[in-house]
Amino acid sequence: MIDLDTDYGIGAAAQAFLARAGKMLIGGQWVDSASGEFFETRDPATGRIIGRVAAGDAEDVDKAVRAARNTLEGRLWGGMLPAAREKLLLNLADLVERHAEELIELESLDNGKPVTIARMIDIGRAPNFIRYMAGWATKIEGATITPSVAMGPHARFHAYTLKEPVGVVGGIIPWNFPFVMALWKTCPALATGSTVVLKPAEQTPLTALRLGELIQEAGFPDGVVNIVTGLGETAGAALARHPGIDKIAFTGSTAVGKAIARAAADNVTRVTLELGGKSPVIIMPDADLDQAIVGAARAIFFNAGQVCGAGSRLFVHNAIYDEVLSGIARIASAMKIGPGLDPATEMGPLVSEEQRQRVLHYIESGLSEGGELLAGGNVRAGDGYFVTPTVFGRVKPEMTVAREEIFGPVLAAASFETIDEVVNLANDSQYGLVAGIWSTNINVVHRMIPRIRSGTVYVNAHNLMDPAVPFGGNKQSGYGREMSKMAIDMYTETKSVYIAY
Ligand code: ADP
Ligand code: MG
């Protein structure tokens, strides 16, 4: 299907997948869309088309939801014991490990991210995550409850709770960590015995489709995981409003999250939302500056800033402001930008031309609203959706680059004098996903943590993730939590049982 003539090339396995990919997975069958329509996915480093993928819409979503419902209620999956579900997930983890190189190449090619990131994070951490969730399959338990009041002079009862699968899950996921997101929405659901209809982002459908193949190979019954590729406004919207969906798990922009919650409200479909961020990074005067400068630069430039927890607002104490900003600007200017498939690349292109235009528009607003440009601010010559790592200094809280999520490599920095001042600045956002504090003063750190409104606080670190630690947002960054036992809670319903005796 494609003619890859780059110097970097991709292996035979990834090449073979590109040649066969393009169909959707519904009820265990690889099928075209009902309409017969396709859309194209591109290599962000060159803009070339790398694949044509079925453009599913409402009719395909409906078929997939029916398949997921049948499987949910059928003997094969509905009657499967937890240890068997655990084993299937463990099989999947092994397969992901075995096909890691192929998945790394596909992820880098479809999304544009450096292979080093795909190897270390996206694909490298995946087996661990799957195995963590596999473990929960056999550890889901309710409670026995001693009744607290009398129900009449003689009546007695016994009470307990059952934890049951939430049902058919609709997973709608973004393009920044395509494979990771596909796993976040499927593995906890599968551990509980739920079934899934997954809608990957139209920019990056490939690794989710490869995951579908591996799920089949692992031995999951047909219809446990269904994958409908398609556009957000068609396939995504149809999933969000489908009455056969019990729970929507969404990661993406706040605007789309609100639309999904509204659509789901008509059926009282359960919803969890992991949305945008405008996360503050605070550097205190007592911080280890070498670490903090590198850490703050990574916090914004990792994955070209296309990270929901990106540290996009930087607050640096007056006493060290100039030193920190010149250090970050130096790192930004020295970053090696190039195609993701080049192992030397530190920052790849953005995912799409649309995303590049969005980011450039924000850079223009930073300039016109009076930001001080310390690094970057332009595009890289040649093809591909490249933007240079950009640093704005002396940013005022009311400026657009300080308020809106850019989802690109653009840092908005400002200085502060007191702790009260910086806590207020950090909290002055509609978002509340993560926050970073760099300091060697543990007393100050402990006093600041409870005052910051965010789902996660990093101290002397940024963008850490662990399958056992909950992740999610406050305020307009969303509700619900991913990972940890809390993720399992999000994919179960509690049934209370009273037995009179
Ligand atoms: P971005 O704007 O950065 O592409 P989105 O929030 O639009 O992020 O995309 C995240 C996911 O939401 C994608 O899978 C996309 O197809 C899907 N999506 C977009 N619009 C809608 C919608 N109206 N209803 C349901 N899903 C949508
Ligand atoms: Mg693509």
Pairing of strands 390-393, 372-375: antiparallel
pLDDT score for 2: 47
Are the CB atoms for 114 and 348 separated by under 8 Å?
yes
pLDDT score for 8: 61
> Distance, CA 40 to ligand 2 centroid (Å)?
8
Q: Is 201 in the pocket of ligand 1 (CB under 6 A)?
A: yes
Are the CB atoms for 277 and 176 separated by under 8 Å?
no
> Distance, CA 177 to ligand 2 centroid (Å)?
12
Look up residue 182 and give its amino acid: A
Look up residue 166 and give its amino acid: V
Predicted confidence (pLDDT) per residue in 299-344, tens digit: 999 999 999 999 999 999 999 999 999 999 999 999 999 999 999 9
For 288, the 3-state DSSP assignment is coil
Q: How far apart are CA 343 and CA 82, in angstroms?
A: 41
Q: Which of 14, 65, 394 is CA-nearest to residue 198? A: 65
Q: How far apart are CA 19 and CA 13, in angstroms?
A: 10
Are the CB atoms for 491 and 140 separated by under 8 Å?
no
> Distance, CA 84 to ligand 1 centroid (Å)?
34
Q: Which of 179, 198, 206, 256 to mutate to test the pocket of ligand 1 (most atoms within 8 A of CB)?
A: 256
pLDDT score for 383: 87
Q: How many CB atoms lie within 10 A of CB 59?
A: 12
Q: Is 253 in the pocket of ligand 1 (CB under 6 A)?
A: yes
Q: How far apart are CA 204 and CA 42, in angstroms?
A: 8
pLDDT score for 1: 42
> Distance, CA 34 to ligand 1 centroid (Å)?
21
Q: Which residues are catalytic?
A: 274, 308
Pairing of strands 247-251, 225-227: unpaired
Are the CB atoms for 175 and 107 separated by under 8 Å?
no
Residue nearest to atom 18 of ligand 1 (CA): 232
Ligand located closest to 2 CA: 2
pLDDT score for 40: 97
Burial group, residue 382, by CB count within 10 angstroms (0-12, 13-18, 19+): exposed
Q: How far apart are CA 239 and CA 231, in angstroms?
A: 11
Q: Which of 172, 176, 239 to mutate to test the pocket of ligand 1 (most atoms within 8 A of CB)?
A: 172
pLDDT score for 4: 52
Q: Which of 478, 451, 409 is CA-nearest to residue 282? A: 451
pLDDT score for 31: 98
pLDDT score for 153: 78
Whole-angstrom CA distances from 373 to 329, 332, 364, 370, 392 are 9, 12, 11, 9, 5
Predicted confidence (pLDDT) per residue in 21-79, tens digit: 999 999 999 999 999 999 999 999 999 999 999 999 999 999 999 999 999 999 999 99
Q: How far apart are CA 226 and CA 23, in angstroms?
A: 12
Q: How far apart are CA 263 and CA 265, in angstroms?
A: 5
Contacts of 157 (CB under 8 A, 6+ apart): 147, 151, 498, 499, 500, 501
Tens digit of pLDDT at every position of the chain (501 positions): 445 555 468 999 999 999 999 999 999 999 999 999 999 999 999 999 999 999 999 999 999 999 999 999 999 999 999 999 999 999 999 999 999 999 999 999 999 999 999 999 999 999 999 999 999 999 999 999 998 888 887 788 999 999 999 999 999 999 999 999 999 999 999 999 999 999 999 999 999 999 999 999 999 999 999 999 999 999 999 999 999 999 999 999 999 999 999 999 999 999 999 999 999 999 999 999 999 999 999 999 999 999 999 999 999 999 999 999 999 999 999 999 999 999 999 999 999 999 999 999 999 999 999 999 999 998 877 789 999 999 999 999 999 999 999 999 999 999 999 999 999 999 999 999 999 999 999 999 999 999 999 999 999 999 999 999 999 999 999 999 999 999 999 999 999 999 998
Which of ligand 1's atoms lies nearest the C-alpha of 199? 14
